[in-house]
Structure formats: C-alpha cells, structure tokens
Amino acid sequence: MKTIRVALAGNPNVGKTSLLNHLAGTNLKVGNWPGVTVEKKEGKVKFWDYEIHLIDLPGIYTLEPLSEDEWVAYNYLTTEKPDLILNVIETPNMERDLLLTVELLELEIPMILVLNMVDEAQKLGIEVREERLSDLLGVRVLKTNARTGEGVKALLPHIVEVFNSKEKPKALRYSKELEEVLQKAMETGQETKAKLIRKLSTEDRFKEYRESLKRIYAKDVYEIVKDERYATAHGIYKEVVIRRSLTARDITDSIDKLLLHPWFGIPIFLLVMFLVFKISFDFSSPFMDWIDGFIKDFLSPLTLQALDAIGVGEIIKRVVAEAIIGGVGFVFTFLPLIAVIYFMLSLLEFSGYLPRIAFLMDRFMHRLGLHGKSLVPLLLGFGCNVPAIVATKTLETKRDKLLVIAMIPFMSCPARLVVFSFFAVIFFKNPATVIFSLYLLGILTALLTAFVLRKTLFRGSLYHFVMELPPYRLPTLRLLLRVVWVYVKDFLYRAGTLIFAASVVIWLLLNLPPGVKNPSESIAGYIGKTISPIFAPLGLDDWRMSTSLIPAFLAREIVLSSMATIYAVESQEDKKEFNALKALKEQGISLLLAFKEAFINLFNPVPTAFEVEEGSVDGLKGIIAKSLSPASGLAFMVFLLLYTSCLGTVAVMWREAGKRFALLFLAYSFAVGWFFGLLAYRIGSLIWST
Amino acid sequence: MKLEEIKPGQEVMILNLSGKEDILEKIKAMGLRKGRKIALIQKVGRNLLLKVDNSRIVISREIAKNIEVQ
Ligand SMILES: Nc1nc2c(ncn2[C@@H]2O[C@H](COP(=O)(O)OP(=O)(O)OP(=O)(O)O)[C@@H](O)[C@H]2O)c(=O)[nH]1
Ligand SMILES: [Mg+2]
C-alpha cells in the first residue's frame, strides 16, 4: 500500500480542519475564529490502494510567518515537501485567498484547489468559473461545503490521480524583466520558482542582478516580487469570479450592529455569559439528581446483591462499594453538568462571537497592557486550561505569550465548577453568588498576576492588534454533539483511569496497616495529619480535607472522589431491602421527571438549580456540613480555584513555556491560593462567627 | 486623509501604507492594500473594524495612522 502525504494549506478559518474531519472521520478541533488549529495534526484515510495522510496545518495569510503557529505551517510546507497540497479557499474571499495560492504555486508542488464555503458564496452572489481557473493554473478545482460535507469525498480520487500522474501546476509567469533575471539565476535547472526568488533576493553573488532590477523597477527585489504576486492574484480573480449584486443585506452586518455596539456590546456580553451558566446549571441539575439517585438506590444495591450472589470476599465488596461506587460513581454524578456546559461553550465557539468578545474587551485589556487577541486563549480557559495554553501560539510575541500563559490557570474550568457546585450548596444560602464571586476572584488574580509581571519581568510595549472577525455561522447539530461527546468521553476516560486509580489507592491507604479500625489511624490518616498544619491557618485542619487534596493534584475532581471514598469508609451503611425490578421502574419514572424539570428550568428566567431546601443536605454533603465551618469551606474552594491543581495544565505549561516557568508558576499559584484562602477564612470567620 | 480620521459608515480607497513593521505585510495579505476599497464599520476603544470585500478586519489605531485613504 502506498502512502500519500497531503498538506491542507489555506488562510485561517477557511474550513481546513472541517474538511479533514469529513475526509478522515477525525474529531480535530473546529471553531469559527482564525487560529483554532495551532499545531500540525494528522488524519488518515484508506482509499483504493492508498493510505492518504492528511496533514492539518494552522492557517496562514502569507508565507511570511510572524507567530509560532504560522511558523509551523511555513516550515512544514517549505521544508517537509508534502506530495500534494490541498489549498483550501474561502470562496467569498477569493481575492485575498489567491495571494497564498500564488505563493504556494511558487513551491511547485502538485496541488488541488478546494473552493470551500460554496454555500456562503452563493448567498453573497459570488460565482466562480472553475474550468477557467483550472485552465489558468493547471490545477484541478473542486467545490465543497465542509460544514455539511457536501462534495468533500469527491476529493479522494483526484488526490490519487494527481499523485500518480505527478501533474505539476503551470509555471507562473511574472513580468518579463523579472523572469529574465530569474532565468539567469538558475543553476541546476531544477530550482523551483520559490528557490530562485530566495536566491536572487538574499545571496551575495546575485547583487548585480538585484541592482539591475532596481534600476528598472525603482524598488527592491522583495517589493517587486510582492507586487507581482498581488498582481497575479488580482488578475486571476478578475478572470474567474463573477459577482452579482444583491439587494439583501448581510445578516452578519445586522447582528454586529447590535452585538458590537459601543454601548450595548458589553452589557449584552455579560447577559450572554449569564445565560450560558444559567442554562448549564438549570438544565443539568435534574439529571445530576437523577444519576445520584440511580447510583444510590439502584446501581449500588444491585451490584452488592450481585456480588453477594457470586460470593466474593468482604474486601472486594468493600472496595467496590466504597472506592468504586462511592468514589468514582460520585464523580459520575457531574457528567450532565460537564456535557451541558461544553454544549453551551461550543455553541459560543462555533457562532463567531468569541473573537468579537476580544474586540469588545480590548478597550479594557489594553489599559492593562494586554492585547485584545490574548482574550481568545483566556476565554478558552473557561472551557479547559490545557488547550487554552496551547492556543497562545497565535500570539505574535513571546512576551504576550508568557504573560497570557501565567493568567490562564486562574480561569475557572468546569472541573473546578463541579467542585464549587458541590461545596457551595452545602454552606451557603445563595450558592450562585458564591460561585460567581469565585470566578471573579480567578479573573482578578489573573489580572493582578499580569500586572505584576508586566511591571517586573515583561516590560515592553504592546504589540499591534490585528484580527479577522468571521461571519456568524451555525454549526450542524451533528458537529455540536460530536464535540460534546469528545469532552464527555474524556471525562469518562479520566473517571475510569485517574480517578479510579486514585480512589483505589486512597481506599487502600485508609485500610492499612491491616486491621486498622479507625481510618484516622490508617496510613492515609497519618499522611493527612502530617500535612494538615500547612492548611490549618485556612481552617482546614481536618485530616480528611488535607488527604483528599494530595491526589487532587492529578485533577481537581479527584478531591470529590477522594472525599467520597474517605467518608464512605467511615460511615459504612447498613443494607436495606432491595428489589431490582421495582427499583428499575422507579428510576425510569424519575428520569422522565428529570427531563420534564430540565425543560421547565430552561424557560424559567431566574436560576433555579441552587435553590437550597432547608434540611435537605444529606449523605456526603451532610457529613461535610457537620465537620467544616462555612468559612473553611470557602477557604477550601478559594485554594482549589487558584492553586494549579491539575497535572495536565502543568505538563502543557512545561512544554510551552519551559520547565522553570512551569515549576515556578506552580509554587506561585500554591502561595497565592494559600494566601487568598487564608484571607477568605479570616473574613468568613468574622462574618459567620455569630 | 488618514484611515484613522474617517467615520463609521464611510467607504474609502486605500492610497498607501507606510511604516516598516512586519505586521504591515500581514495586513496587506489580509486584503488591506493599495487600491482596495474598504468601509469602516465601527470604532470601539482603540480599534477599528473594517470591511474589506467579504471579510471583517480589526486593526488598532496605531496601524490605521499609517494608512492613507481617499
Ligand atoms: N457555511 C459554511 N461554513 C463552513 C464551511 N466549512 C467550514 N465552515 C465553518 O467555518 C468555521 C471554520 O472551520 P475550521 O475547519 O475550524 O477552519 P480552519 O481552516 O481549520 O481554521 P483554522 O484552524 O483557524 O485556520 C467553522 O465554524 C466551520 O463550521 C462551509 O463550507 N460552509
Ligand atoms: Mg483548523
């Protein structure tokens, strides 16, 4: 089987990744703003007798890279020499996109032109004479819609045919004088046009030629070549694009009138964020309650009954009941919240609103010495810190990049939200306000960090702000669900591996040395008690708290599974009567009720998820309520918010900013978390002491 | 006239881009180059939102200072 290496090249946000996902069935990240793909990614597809390797590259406007992601694309195209380039073009913006096409043609690599977004072009009254375009350039031209996948599969046979026939595009012809000099610079006869131009404009021995060109054109070679490229692109555009004038107004322009309004823009943004979180909570909470009940009243007794029937030993039964169902199962309860919040955040990412927030907020950001563009990675941080840190590759300067990387970990992610949503209901009458304040504290800490860094390590002035705003777009439901599924799968995977392992280890440590009666005398208890003095000033001198914080370094949700395991070991419940069939029926009914409640919540203007009923805190919540004061509960949440308690984040920081930076930041975040935790405890103790 | 000086809703043609920064090459590649028609959609804070062909581009005022329009 032969392999064909196909690179997808094109301007940012033209649909390269969407195209690849359709071709190879991958789930690479797609989003409606420029700079979604920042690293080289790959997908494979078997076709006929070939294995086609599709290489997704970050978008570039020109082969003159500035930022790190642009360098990735540039290096791949110029040094790794793919077998074939799929040049993806946003048909509505063909004139702009053709500049890159011309630059790619200079590389003289076999190429196929993909005219994407034909649906939008049609709405805008833009028509392309594809045969003419194909004749002019000597490349095949295909039309696609990478949103729905229309026309995408038709690319495959063409890829194979072009690969086999080694069809080269027609040679570009620039103006006569330039071509003559380029001919003279030719030495082996094999050089590509790109190579010739590079030789001519940089090497000493061609100085004479450069001078002669300068005399003719009255500009530098660099300028001459650029102008030739623009002229060529413009010429092709004029020749192949037909525009019908339309009377209908562009819908994006109308929406922008409102959403980017100088006064209303920011209030609307705040409203949008409020709705995102309100819907996430209100819609998911009935399902969370249902899963909680399902595990407690059905899964757990059923499993124990089954284990009894098989006749396994007491130890196994306890591991299953306390570590797996108690610990891992507990974390599962939060799955609906994770799913719904990612659904909402993805909707934001696909709509095209995200880069507009950057545009709106730049007003405030630039006063703080931050670029509006850096807001995109910061906002992504609310979804997950790890890809957010990777996304800083789009920033043009190292200074901006490091500055933003030092801020991202303070953006509260859904993993933290899960912990907050659990703790806040235990201690506070208005949990929504508490959670909102925690998010705000995270943002403030990030700004403070940036401020201090800018006054000390990262002085220097601000780089220019340049960004493209895409049209508003709607994702297909299928795409949206696929994205949510990726996050859900990731959460399940972590529950099955990290969280599972952590729960079992904790359980073991709680039951060692063998025969230990009181968990506080176990190894886990001993470790917890040893480190608890560190957290005592925060009101967290309970060994159970400090113990659960240690494994939480892997991922924050583990704090919950560990706690659940610890308390499950402490309070071994007695068995109740259990009838599987009857219980299953009850579960079915309550699931239906959950659906009904979720949809009612959706249309309720006030947030309902956090209405705390008096005396309703039971189970783990009840136990924690008894063993912690509200002030120390708050301190615990503040600490967990600010301390970078996530292996994934530290690892990606290490990769992107270096080992020293990552470790120093970890220590810093611990100190900040501890300090603000202390502050929260002290202030909280004053308020709630009566 | 400088691009910085025009009002939202106005449509102009680019006459010249001056300055030496790398970023200028990028904005030219994004479509802001000599002879192109552009419209100013919105001014917010230190930024300008422009429409060029069917794309919308945000640039900061410092760059707009270097763009001569008519
Ligand atoms: N209407 C329409 N939308 C499309 C089409 N192709 C892609 N999109 C949308 O355009 C946006 C950008 O798609 P991506 O695949 O992320 O683009 P990309 O070229 O990989 O972008 P970068 O990685 O940022 O360079 C997404 O919101 C897609 O859903 C199309 O043919 N028609
Ligand atoms: Mg992409």
Distance from CA of A279 to the nearest CA of B (A): 30
A42 pLDDT above the threshold of 90: yes
A247 pLDDT above the threshold of 80: no
Minimal-distance CA residue to ligand 1 atom 16: A30
Report the mean per-residue pLDDT for chain A. Answer: 87
Ligand 2 centroid distance, CA of A598 (Å): 34
Token pair for A192: 């590509």
Distance from CA of B32 to the nearest CA of A (A): 9
Comparing A283-292, A347-356, A566-575, the range with the smallest average pLDDT is A566-575
Q: Which ligand is the nearest neighbour of the Cα of A32?
A: 1
Minimal-distance CA residue to ligand 1 atom 26: A32
- For B5-36, the pLDDT digits (tens) are 898 889 999 998 887 777 888 889 999 988 88
> What is the pTM (predicted TM-score) of this model?
0.88
Distance from CA of A494 to the nearest CA of B (A): 40
∠ CA B7-A62-A92, rounded to 5°: 60
pLDDT of amino acid A241: 92
Say if residue A178 is exposed, middle or buried (CB neighbours under 10 Å; 0-12, 13-18, 19+).
Answer: buried
- For A346-383, the pLDDT digits (tens) are 999 999 999 999 888 888 887 777 878 888 999 999 98
Average pLDDT estimate for A664-690: 89
Query: Which of B47, B51, B52, B62 to mutate against chain A (most A CBs within 10 Å)?
Result: B47
Cβ <8 Å between B29 and A468? no
pLDDT of amino acid A164: 92
A249 pLDDT above the threshold of 80: no
Minimal-distance CA residue to ligand 1 atom 14: A15
pLDDT of amino acid A472: 94
Token pair for A591: 């699931």
Ligand 2 centroid distance, CA of A349 (Å): 13
Tell me the DSSP string of A277-344.
HHHHHHHHHHHHHHHHHHIIIIIHHHHHHHHHHHT--HHHHHIIIIIIIIIIHHHHTTHHHHHHHHHH
Touching check for A93 and chain B: CB below 8 Å? yes
A229 pLDDT above the threshold of 90: yes
ipTM surpasses 0.85: yes
pLDDT of amino acid A523: 85
Minimal-distance CA residue to ligand 1 atom 11: A32
Domain range list for chain B: 3-69
* Chain B contact set for A226 (CB, 8 A): 25, 28
Token pair for B55: 């794309």
∠ CA B68-B69-B70, rounded to 5°: 140
User: Which residues of chain B have a Cβ shorter than 8 Å from any chain A Cβ?
Assistant: 21-23, 25-31, 33, 41-47, 49, 51-60, 62-63
A290 pLDDT above the threshold of 60: yes
* Chain B contact set for A371 (CB, 8 A): none
Most confident of the ranges A428-432, A473-477, A617-621: A473-477
Residue, of A525 and A679, whose pLDDT is higher:
A679
A615 pLDDT above the threshold of 60: no
* Alpha-carbon span A75 to A79, nearest angstrom: 6
Cβ <8 Å between B58 and A466? yes
* Chain A contact set for B62 (CB, 8 A): 464
Nearest alpha carbon to residue A353 among A431, A255, A448: A255
Residue to mutate (ligand 1; options A8, A30, A55, A89; most atoms within 8 A of CB)? A30
A641 pLDDT above the threshold of 80: yes
Touching check for A466 and chain B: CB below 8 Å? yes
* Alpha-carbon span A600 to A228, nearest angstrom: 62
Report the mean per-residue pLDDT for chain B. Answer: 88
pLDDT of amino acid A288: 87
Tell me the DSSP string of A432-467.
HHHHHHHHHHHHHHHHHHHHHHHHTT--SPPPPPEE
Comparing A225-239, A378-392, A517-531, the range with the smallest average pLDDT is A517-531
- For A71-88, the pLDDT digits (tens) are 999 999 999 889 999 999
Please give the single-letter amino acid code of residue A687. I
A278 pLDDT above the threshold of 90: no
Residue A183's contacts (CB-CB under 8 Å, 6 or more residues apart) are: none
Average pLDDT estimate for A210-232: 88
Model confidence band, residue A188 (pLDDT cutoffs 50, 70, 90): confident
> Which residues have CB under 6 Å of ligand 1?
A 12-18, 30-32, 34-37, 58-59, 116-117, 119-120, 145-147, 350, 473, 475
In this complex, the residue of A124, A363, A463 whose CB is nearest that of residue B45 is: A363
Cβ <8 Å between B43 and A262? yes
pLDDT of amino acid A480: 92
A349-369: burial string, b at 16+ Cβ within 10 Å, e else: bbbbbbbbbbbbbbbebbeeb
* Alpha-carbon span A59 to A71, nearest angstrom: 10
Q: Which ligand is the nearest neighbour of the Cα of A73?
A: 1
Residue of B nearest to A103 (CA): B29
Token pair for A360: 């709106």
Model confidence band, residue A602 (pLDDT cutoffs 50, 70, 90): confident
Residues of chain A numbered 200-229 and touching chain B (CB < 8 Å): 226
- Tell me: domain B3-69, CATH 2.30.30.90, correct? yes
* Chain A contact set for B58 (CB, 8 A): 359, 372, 465-469
pLDDT of amino acid A323: 79
* Chain B contact set for A231 (CB, 8 A): none
Cα distance between the two ends of chain B? 6
Token pair for A319: 């591991």
Average pLDDT estimate for A41-54: 94
pLDDT of amino acid A182: 87
Cβ <8 Å between B47 and A465? yes
Say if residue A54 is exposed, middle or buried (CB neighbours under 10 Å; 0-12, 13-18, 19+).
Answer: buried
- For A402-416, the pLDDT digits (tens) are 999 999 999 998 888
Distance from CA of B58 to the nearest CA of A (A): 5
pLDDT of amino acid A96: 92
Minimal-distance CA residue to ligand 1 atom 30: A117
* Chain A contact set for B22 (CB, 8 A): 64, 66
Minimal-distance CA residue to ligand 1 atom 3: A147
CB-CB contact of A374 with A403 (8 Å):
yes
Please give the single-letter amino acid code of residue A371. H
* Chain B contact set for A463 (CB, 8 A): 23
Most confident of the ranges A231-240, A390-399, A568-577: A231-240
Most confident of the ranges A143-152, A272-281, A568-577: A143-152
CB-CB contact of A108 with A192 (8 Å):
yes
- Ligand 1 atom nearest A352 alpha carbon: 27
Model confidence band, residue A313 (pLDDT cutoffs 50, 70, 90): confident
Q: Could you give the count of Cα atoms lying within 13 Å of A246 in the half-sphere of its Cβ?
A: 13
pLDDT of amino acid A613: 53
* Alpha-carbon span A307 to A77, nearest angstrom: 59
Using alpha carbons, list the distances in angstroms from residue A4 to A43, A48, A82, A159.
12, 12, 8, 9
Average pLDDT estimate for A21-41: 93
Residue, of A593 and A676, whose pLDDT is higher:
A676
Model confidence band, residue A617 (pLDDT cutoffs 50, 70, 90): low
A616 pLDDT above the threshold of 60: no
Distance from CA of A470 to the nearest CA of B (A): 7
CB-CB contact of B51 with A249 (8 Å):
no
Token pair for A227: 């102008």
pLDDT of amino acid A608: 66
Crossing angle of helices A477-494 and A335-351, in 10° steps, is 140
Longest CA–CA span in chain A (Å) reads 98
In this complex, the residue of A62, A95, A99 whose CB is nearest that of residue B53 is: A95
CB-CB contact of A18 with A152 (8 Å):
no
- For A60-70, the pLDDT digits (tens) are 999 989 889 99
